[in-house]
Structure 1
Amino acid sequence: MKNITITSIILFLLININYTFSQTKNNTIESPLEYIHHRNEAISLVKNEKWQESIEILKNLTTQYQNDADLFYLLGLSYYETGQFTNAIMVLKKTLESGGTILTDIPTGSAPSNDIMIKIAKAYAEDGDKENALLWLQKGFASRYDEKPFLKGDAAFKDFIEDENFLALFGNDNQANITREETWVKDISYLENRINELHYSPYHAISKTELSKAILNLKTKIASLNDEQIIVELMKIVGSLGNGHNLIIPTSPNKDALKKLPVQFYQFSDGIFIVDAEIGFEKWIGYEVESIENTNAEEALQKTNAINARDNDMQTLWLGPYYLGLPDVLKGLGIVENANQVAITLKDRSGKSQKIIMNPVSWNFSDFPKMPKLKDKEQPLFLSKTEDPYWHKLIPENNSIYVQFNIVTQKETQTLKDFNIELRSQISKNKVHHLILDLRHNHGGNGSILPPMLKTIINFEIMNPDGNVFVLMGRETFSAAQNLLTDITKYTDAILVGEPSGSKPNHIGEAGWFKLPYSGLMGLISTQFHQTSKAEDNRNWIAPHIPVNALSTDYFNGNDKALNTIMEVIKSDKN
């Protein structure tokens, strides 16, 4: 028995050794110094879209060393961009065999494996191979490719536009004389398929049985509902998925898009107030909302959770007021009876209440609303440039620099990397002692470009051991901004000031698009799990070290209590 065991172990080891060697290639690098020089040269050529020049260098590099998927990826893109589609297919498949790549800032390219699958599908299409093009489209979609609606009109598939199999991938068919009820049934079925196709974990907040029941129930009620009511019911279904990147864009349908009230609500710690208004309704700015018809404001806010697929309760404060501004949503939640006339009871600063009637207006959704600028006062620093993705200002009297980071994107005039190079230069030149990073308006964006900002924060703390990093945060600190906040807390001793964050340290995120084939209704479904913190981190948010609530009186008086609190801490340190 002992001999059998030893023999089995030896056989097991031999099999695994052979398997290990089969996973790596026999590579011979002639000169390591020349290799790294040419590797850097090839990446530079690709980034400057000099595709033809990069091909010979990349071919030589991948011949010498075959374990670097990044190089196969760049070679595949270069072949594709020069019209060598057969070669592009072969090399991009090799990239996938090695597990793909995470390269960023590559023109015309996108690193996730599902994006590479779609690039292969495009290459097959350009090469006239419809069967394999459709096969690789299906593979990409099954791997949660997130830009599906925008592929239908892609130039690579121009010859497929009337192909039944191609159209079926997008939920379309050539059925003639289709009724309104039939179109909505097909749209609802397509949404169900897209949820299962896209969502990282569709049944973590609702069971498969419950979701199927809700979808079937809606299909049976179509004839008794108008289009706006169906949209609200679909918003409830998406809301039941239970994490913050799931939503429907209410102005996206081909017809009967949802309208909104002519005012913007905001939840402060002392109540819900009107903070912005359309022309003709400006006089109501500054009024507190006591009730919407017969439902008090706080109860109405909590009811929006039925359609607000949130990561935590801070998203109720952030997005709940937005949903309160949609009359059809109010009707669908049982708050109002008539979506065309909404009765709201308002209270002024003296405590006097009055009931007014508001009628909805048409609009186009562009983004979830931010805290607006003040109408009749000088803007406090944190509201002065909210439209600018990132900017900084020296505060010499406190030996500080204020950095506002409003969206994780690249400006055309200055990349985030270049901004951080400038920022580090200003910090060094002016001997800055305290760095204040404001993430209160940041809903996220392209998380792959965050490293330069994180490096700046870490570098500042290392180079200024007697100084402080402060981070202003709150309900709108979400998605990629949440990831940055989580990393800052992992790698630095930053002092956090404000409200709890709008998401979790570990959360289901990203955003895969869907477009319903007949109504045109568009929305997003969560596609990836972000484990930015340790595996055991189950916090609902990151809490501030210095809590500062948002008061309406501070906002309307142009007072930034959170930033003022930081200045007080800095002054106390001086003493």
Structure 2
Amino acid sequence: MRYFALFLTSLVLLTVQPTLAQADTLSSGFATSEELVANGGFESWVDNQPSAWDFWIVGDEKSKENQGLALAPSTDAAVGERAALLQGIGEADTWIILNQNIPVESGSIFHFSGMLRGLDVLSPTGRRWQCQIGIIARSAQGQRINQWLLKPAPGTTDWYSDSRIIQAPPGCASFDLQVVTNGKGRLLVDEVSLRPTRIRGGMKSGLSGAEKRRADLEYLTTTLPMLHIEPFRFTSEAAFDSLAGTIAKECDTLSDLDFTFRLMELVASLDDAHTTLEFAVRPPRLPIQYEFFGDDLRVMLAPKPCADIVGGRVLEIGGKPISDVLGAIRVLIPHETESWIRYRTPRLLRLMAVAEHLGIVSEDGAIDLVVATDRGDRRQCRLDLNLDFKRSDFIFAFPADKAEPLYLSCWDNYWLKYLPDSKTLYVRGVRCREDKQKPMAGFIDQIDEIVDTRPIERFVLDLRYNTGGGSGVFRPLIAAVASHRDAGDIGQCYVITGIATFSAACLNAQEFVDKAGALVVGEAMGNRTDRFGQLNEFSLPYSGLRVRYSTKRFRWGGHDEDMLVPDIPAPLTWQDYSEGRDPAMEAILSDKSRP
């Protein structure tokens, strides 16, 4: 039995769906009349069960004895004569589920909708109800690939409708369409629908390059606003359409490469850092690395022939002032904060396709760089892109005679170190991803053992280079530390954030503040705590360019602020880095505000 992986979501994260007005617009314009849900209006019943639907009670055996009370037809219908009535049993781990499996084709786009009415709905914990309609996308082997939820029915409500436009992700073979409730109260459901849309990605033969570019542009401008959870929250639809219109006029003269970057600019105009346009094939990387320190872009790695410029402040690239180069890259980066611009810019500058688009590659395949050293000298170097380099051929900016600070010492998904001199337990989270070699449950046991056997005056969670993943990975750790904090086993908690703290890591940082009273140290994060996420993607038919888009809005409950601002600012300067210092840890160890 394949059941209810749908609704085991966070108890605090809020999912915001499109408004009913938006849903009606989507439906009328793009859904076809072909209905894929059998008996979605719940008019047909056999032996007290709706036809074409599977019915499960998932929980202990005692709960299953109530099966006859959990589901029944109701004459309180939104449309027609009948609706389905799901009666919550009141047990925390008991789920009442209606399920219908629907074969679909990967890449197809659907209009998904349903109607709900809640009657005194309340979860067993008194907090988060789970009374919703949702879809699980599954592979041919039954593995869950993605999921989508319609708006839940809390408390007592009138009948209401909700809908979404969804796309079957790569590898998807079927949808499990589910109605689920747990806890107490009654849930009425009616008019559950899944219909294909008129959005298609088919290809025609014999088109010119300009015609293919126009077709890709039209597909992008039609599909992205339909699939994104709330495309015009941070920008206007008129501005998006205006830029798209300008690009359409340029299709005859743009090269394929420049057209790619114009589309990248169009997607970036939505100001959702999670919604991006990606290359069909990842372009080669240049043999150089950069990073920002404050407003200065520095060379962090270069081949030995360019050793003189390593550590230098970049003044020119390819004969262009660095300000011009940065301005041209800025419009390509979907962002919500200046921090994310500072993080993403050096990474885009490493891509050959970006360098060619910017016009900083010479005809003979080289890039000329001009930097200023800390002594004020001006140095030049020609980076020959025709040469093959091995790792041993590079010079790194970090001084060889300095010990690496903790934030550079290990790049495992998560690791820890106890600092006896300061009675500090330092935990670094590099990725919000479970480590198969070191499961989080065992890692928490390790923390518990240290707390039980050693004095802990400070607990540090370092998320400054964590670009996200799944926020649930670190949630048990945060809960465990908060419990120790409440029991008086540890002193002040701190969370270190930086320009690369992004997505799930931002939510984890906010959770740590709320649950453990952590102070925020470091720099502003890469995106808002009120943000979009949970990505899906589609490809443009002719170029193969991939568009990744957000399907959910996440907001940390109880906060009006969009950003988590450091309580103790501690930016990493070039002097700090070149001397092997960590200003964030220095600020924490010298902080006198802890009890």
Could you say whether these structures have the same fold, taking a TM-score greater than 0.5 normalized by the shorter chain as the test? yes
Which secondary structure does the structure 2 equivalent of 1:176 belong to? coil
Among candidates 586, 589, 594, match of residue 564 of structure 1? 586
Of 478, 481, 491, the match for 1:467: 491
The answer to whether 1:433 aligns with 2:454 is: no
Question: Is residue 445 of structure 1 aligned with residue 464 of structure 2?
Answer: no
Change (3 A) 1:122 1:183: farther
Aligned ranges 1:270-281 → 2 under 5 Å: 271-277=296-302
Aligned with 1:233 (options 262, 275, 299): 262
Contact kept, 8 Å, 2:247 with 2:262, in 1: the verdict is yes
Are 1:505 and 2:529 counterparts? yes
User: Which protein has the bigger strand share?
Assistant: 2
Q: Does residue 500 of structure 2 align to residue 476 of structure 1?
A: yes
1:121-160: CA deviations, max 9, x gaps?
999xxxxxxxxxxxxxxxxxx7354x7441xx44559xxx
Does residue 1:392 correspond to 2:416, yes or no? yes
Q: CA deviation at 1:229?
A: 0.9
Match for residue 206 of structure 2? 177
- Conserved? CA contact 1:446–1:480, under 8 Å: yes
Structure 1: which amino acid aligns with 2:582?
D
- Counterpart-to-counterpart distance in 2, 1:563 and 1:118: 44
**What is aligned with 2:346?**
321
Q: CA deviation at 1:487?
A: 2.2
1:363-384 superposed Cα distances (whole Å, 9 cap, x missing partner): 9xxxxxxx99877754321111
Match of 2:233 among 204, 210, 218: 204
AA of the residue aligned to 2:252: A
Whether the 8 Å CA contact 1:340–1:359 is kept in 2: the answer is: yes
Partner of 1:44: none
Deviations 1:151-184 (A, max 9, x none): xx44559xxxxxxxx9998843253334333333
| Structure 2 CA distance for partners of 1:173 and 1:221, relative to 1, 3 Å | same
Greater mean deviation of Cα atoms: 401-410 or 446-455: 446-455
Render the CA deviation track for 1:403-457: whole Å, top value 9, x for unaligned: 0011111121343344224322322232322211101011111124443122123
Aligned partners of 2:66 and 2:140: how far apart in 1?
26
Amino acid at match of 1:313: E
1:534 and 1:265 mapped to 2: Cα distance?
38
Q: Give a deviation string over 1:200-225, Cα, whole Å, max 9, x none.
A: 32223332232223223323323322
Aligned match of 1:458: 482
Matched residues in 2 for 1:313 and 1:350: separation?
Answer: 29
2:135 corresponds to: 116
1:263 to 1:178, Cα distance in 2 relative to 1, 3 A = same
1:245 to 274, 288, 293: 274
The aligned amino acid for 1:439 is L
Q: Is the 8 A contact 1:232 1:328 kept in 2?
A: no
Tell whether the 8 Å contact from 1:148 to 1:514 is kept in structure 2 after alignment.
Answer: no
SS of residue in 1 equivalent to 2:290:
strand
Note if 1:186 corresponds to 2:215: yes
Q: CA deviation at 1:466?
A: 7.1
Task: Give 3-state SS (helix, strand or coil) of 2:501's partner.
Answer: coil
Instruction: State the AA in 2 paired with 1:215.
Output: A
**Total equivalences in the alignment:** 463
Residue 291 (1) aligns with residue 310 (2): no
Q: Per residue, is there more helix in 1 or in 2?
A: 1
Distance 1:154-1:246 versus aligned 2 partners, 3 A rule: closer
Q: Is the 8 A contact 2:415 2:427 kept in 1?
A: yes
Unaligned runs of 5+ in 2: 1-41, 43-56, 71-85, 104-111, 124-129, 143-162, 176-194, 389-395
Contact 2:459 2:490 in 1 (8 A): no
For 1:291 and 1:513, the matched residues in 2 are separated by 36
1:143 alignment partner in structure 2: 164
Structure 1 residue 515 displacement after superposition: 1.9
Deviation of 1:296 (Å): 3.6
- If the length of structure 1 is used for normalisation, what is the TM-score? 0.68
3-state secondary structure, aligned to 1:234: helix
Which residue number in structure 2 is paired with residue 6 of structure 1?
A: none
SS of 2:444 mapped into structure 1: helix
CA distance in 1, matches of 2:387, 2:213: 23
1:28-68 deviations in Å (ceiling 9; x for gaps): xxxxxxxxxx9655xxxxxxxxxxxxxx8986565454445
**AA of the residue aligned to 1:431:** P
CA contact (8 A) 1:260 1:361 kept: no
8 Å CA contact retained: 1:171, 1:516: no
Mark the CA change 1:507 to 1:337 in structure 2 (over 3 Å): closer, same or farther: farther
Instruction: Tell me the amino acid that sits aligned with residue 356 of structure 1.
Output: C
CA apart distance, 1:568: 2.5
- Residue 94 to residue 198, structure 1, CA distance change in 2 (3 Å): closer
Match runs of 1:539-554 below 5 Å: 539=562, 541-554=563-576
Q: 1:93 to 1:311 in 2, by over 3 A?
A: closer
Q: How does 1:294-305 map to 2 (within 5 A)?
A: 295-298=320-323, 300-305=325-330
8 A Cα contact 1:73 1:95, kept in partner:
no
Q: From the superposition, tell whether residues 456 and 227 of structure 1 become closer, same or farther in structure 2 (CA, over 3 Å).
A: same
RMSD over aligned Cα atoms: 4.5
CA distance in 2, matches of 1:97, 1:178: 51
* CA positional deviation for 1:310: 0.8
388-397 or 173-182, which moves further after superposition?
173-182
TM-score (norm 2): 0.66
- Structure 2 CA distance for partners of 1:543 and 1:155, relative to 1, 3 Å: closer
Using the alignment, how far apart are the partners of 1:512 and 1:101 within structure 2? Answer: 31
Q: Secondary structure at the match of 1:224?
A: coil
Instruction: Please give the secondary structure, in 2, of the residue aligned with 1:398.
Output: coil
Whole-angstrom CA distance in 2 between matches of 1:112 and 1:213: 41
Q: Which residue of 1 aligns with 2:289?
A: 264
> For 1:97 and 1:280, how far apart are their aligned partners in 2?
70
Q: Deviations over 1:281-330 (max 9, x none)?
A: 56643222122245443553344321111111111211122233345445
Q: In structure 1, what is the Cα distance between the partners aligned to 2:352 and 2:559?
A: 41
Gaps of 5+ in 1: 1-21, 23-37, 42-55, 84-91, 103-110, 124-141, 158-165, 364-370
The amino acid that maps onto 2:259 is I
Letter in 2 for 1:564: E
The 10-residue stretch of structure 1 (514-523 or 374-383) with the greater mean CA deviation from structure 2:
374-383
- Decide whether aligned partners of structure 1 residues 186 and 97 sit closer, same or farther in structure 2, where only a CA change above 3 A counts: farther
1:10-21 pair list within 5 angstroms: none
Identity fraction in percent: 21
Going from structure 1 to structure 2, the CA distance change for 1:94 and 1:184 (only over 3 Å counts) comes to: closer
